[in-house]
Amino acid sequence: MTIETEYSGKDIEEAINNACKSMDCPREQLSIKVTSPGSAGIFGLLRKKAVILVSPKEEGLDTPPPTKQSSKDKSSGSRPEKRKFSPPRSTETHPRQEATRAPAKEASQEILDEIQSSTEKILDLMGYAAEVSLSQSRGKVLVQISGDHLENIIGEEGNTLDAMQYLVRKIVSQKFSEKIMLSMDAGDFRETRKKQLQELALEMARIVKEGKKYRIIAPLNPAERRIIHVALQTDTTIRSKSIGEGLFKKIKIYLPGQGRKNSGRRRSSNKTRPAKK
76 has a pLDDT exceeding 70: no
37 has a pLDDT exceeding 90: no
pLDDT of residue 128: 93
180 has a pLDDT exceeding 50: yes
120 has a pLDDT exceeding 90: yes
For the domain covering 191-258, report its CATH number: 3.30.1370.50
State the amino acid at position 85 in one-letter form. Answer: F
Residue-level length of the chain: 277
| Strand pairing report for 50-56 and 140-147 | unpaired
Burial classification of residue 14, based on how many CB atoms lie within 10 Å of its CB (0-12 exposed, 13-18 middle, 19 or more buried): middle
Of 47, 27, 28, the residue nearest 38 (C-alpha): 47
pLDDT of residue 99: 42
In angstroms, rounded to a whole number, what is the distance separating the alpha carbons of residues 252 and 214? 7
Q: What is the mean pLDDT of residues 128-152?
A: 93
DSSP-derived 3-state class of residue 119: helix
Asked if 174 contacts 44 with a C-beta cutoff of 8 angstroms, the reply is yes
Q: Report the range of poorest mean pLDDT among 7-11, 19-23, 45-49, 85-89.
A: 85-89
Percent of the chain topping pLDDT 70: 71
Whole-number average pLDDT of the chain: 78
pLDDT of residue 68: 46
**Helix, strand, coil share (%) of the chain residues, nearest 5:** 40, 25, 35
User: Which band of pLDDT confidence, cut at 50, 70 and 90, is reported for residue 83?
Assistant: very low
Query: Is it true that domain 109-187 has CATH number 3.40.50.1470?
Result: no
**Rg value, the chain, Cα:** 30
pLDDT of residue 47: 63
pLDDT of residue 57: 77
Of 178, 201, 182, 202, the residue nearest 190 (C-alpha): 182
pLDDT of residue 234: 93
pTM, full prediction: 0.54
Cα angle 132-135-140, degrees, rounded to a multiple of 5: 115
Burial classification of residue 181, based on how many CB atoms lie within 10 Å of its CB (0-12 exposed, 13-18 middle, 19 or more buried): middle
- In 112-164, beta strands by DSSP E: 130-137, 140-147
For 165, other C-beta atoms within 10 Å of its C-beta total 19
In angstroms, rounded to a whole number, what is the distance separating the alpha carbons of residues 22 and 8? 12
Q: What is the mean pLDDT of residues 151-178?
A: 91
- In 155-260, beta strands by DSSP E: 181-186, 214-220, 239-243, 249-254
Q: What is the mean pLDDT of residues 70-99?
A: 42
Q: Report the range of poorest mean pLDDT among 67-76, 99-108, 168-177.
A: 67-76
User: Which band of pLDDT confidence, cut at 50, 70 and 90, is reported for residue 18?
Assistant: confident
